[in-house]
Structure formats: C-alpha cells, structure tokens
Amino acid sequence: MADQNPQPMTQSLIRHEPGVRVIRNVNFPGMIALYMKEVRRFMKVQLQTIWAPALTTLLFLVIFTVALGRGGLSVMGVSFADFVAPGLIIMGMVQNSFQNATTGLLVGKVQGTIVDYLMPPLSAGELLFALVAASVTRSVCVGGAVWAAMLLWPGVHVMPQHLWAVLWFGLTGSAMLAFMGILTAMWADKFDHAAAVGNFLVAPLSLLSGTFYSMDHVAPLFRAISHANPFFYAISGFRYGFLGQSDSSIALGVAVMLGLNLALALVCYAALAKGWKIKA
C-alpha cells in the first residue's frame, strides 16, 4: 500500500510541471482572446484605421468618375464608374489588411512587447490564425464602409451578382496580404522597412493589377506582366462578383488564390514556429 501511493502523486507532479504542454487540443479561448485584442486595437482608432482609408478610396472614385466617367466611357459593357468601383473596394481591403498585420507584430518588436505574443500558451498555428483573422476583419470593415458609401453615390451600381465570388476573392485577397504583412513584420527591424515594402511592393502591385483599366486596353507585354501579378486575380475575381464579367478565367483565379494562400500560410507557420527574428 505504501509503495503504491507515491506513483499517482509523481504522475500528477509531472503532468503539471512548468513548460509541459497541458492544453492538448486547439486553444480556442486563447486564440479568441488574441483575436479580440487585435480587433480592439484597430477599433480604438477606427477614425484612422477604417474611416480614413474608406474616404481615401472614395476620393479615387470621385476623381476618376469626374475625369473619365462623364464622357460616357464604358469598359466591359458597363459604365466606367461601375467598372472601377469593385476594384477600388478590394484595393482598399487588401492594403488595410497588410497594414494591420504588419503593425501588430512590428509594434511589439520595436517597443519590446513581442513577449505578449510569444508567452501565452498559443501554438504557431493559433497565433497565425488570430492575427490573420483580425486583419481580414479590418479589411471587411473598410470594404463594407466603402461599399455602403458607393451604394449612395449617384451613377454607381455595386450590387453583387455572384455573392460567392465577392466573398471568396475578398476574403482570400485580404488573407493573402495579411500573410505578407506578418512576414514583413517579422523581417523588418523598424517601421521604415515595413513602409518600404508597402510603398514599393504592395501599392504598385495593387494599382497595376487592373483596378482602373481592362486588360483589353493594354499592350500584350503589359497584359502578360499583369497576369503574373497575384493581385490581378483577386481584383478580377472580385469584380466578376459584381459585374458578372472578368478579364481572366474565374476557375484559374480561384486556384491561384487558394494556392498562394496555402503557400504563404505554410511559410508564415514555419517562420513563427522557428521564431524567425522575433525570438532572441
């Protein structure tokens, strides 16, 4: 009897030793807590993170419709305003998804509070999911604000014809930029590095992806370059959801977005699991 009592006690001590994994499955409470923390972070300054980007996107619509729309210009069988509106919506979505994902981790690195992300009992996959979900949430908020304003704008028709395409390309496009933002934040040592990626990579790729023009109106060489741009498939597919027309194969766009997101997710997961440039 005396020999049997210490064994359960020893097993209990081993089971609760510091550093031993206690949560055997997905840590849903921790993942949700981090997600809500990231959402509250950008909602506290929503004038800057949601309404200002939405206003900037609407100014693009005003400028281009005033400059080109009044002449009766039509693209792909619709007015120029109807053509450019979906592209502006998703352009605002993906750019803000990138900014949100970049800011979260980079602020932690610069201010020395990255431990708040690393110490909680969250796996690399759980951490990645929460950060990406928060960035996609911000992009949806920006896209929803722009879409609601465009509904009230005279001469613009932005009612979805294929809701599945709007959801698929809007969410996968935002997730793609969120993954890129996380990688950028891990690589960058200061805000200038992240700003350089945003200004010299994300902004040009989003602007030169068919947002303001159709591929039927560009030279063959530029068309080939545009088809190598992953932003093109997100914008073309998103526009298809509103107009029912596209510059490229929708099936190809679905496959490209799925493949890119899976590849970026794996790279981000490996980087977070290794602690690349975020662990001493």
- What confidence tens digit (pLDDT) does each residue in 10-31 have? 444 445 455 555 666 889 999 9
Per-residue pLDDT tens over the stretch 158-205: 899 999 999 999 999 999 999 999 999 999 999 999 999 999 999 888
Map residue 18 onto helix, strand or coil: coil
Per-residue pLDDT tens over the stretch 95-147: 999 999 999 899 988 888 888 888 888 999 999 999 999 999 999 999 999 99
- Phi, then psi, of 156 in degrees rounded to 5: -115, 130
Q: In whole angstroms, what is the distance from residue 117 CA to residue 27 CA?
A: 14
From the list 61, 82, 69, 57, the residue with the least C-alpha distance to 243 is 82
> Could you tell me the two tokens for 180?
């890129």
> Could you tell me the two tokens for 233?
């498939």
* CB atoms closer than 10 angstroms to residue 39: 18
Counting every residue written for the chain, the total comes to 280
The number of CA neighbours under 13 Å toward the Cβ of 185 is 28
Per-residue pLDDT tens over the stretch 193-252: 999 999 999 988 888 888 888 887 778 888 888 888 999 999 999 999 999 988 888 999
Torsion, CA 276, CA 104, CA 171, CA 51, rounded to 10: -160
Does this model's pTM top 0.75? My answer is: yes
User: Helix 80-111 to helix 163-187 angle, to the nearest 10 degrees?
Assistant: 30
Indicate the residue type of 163: L
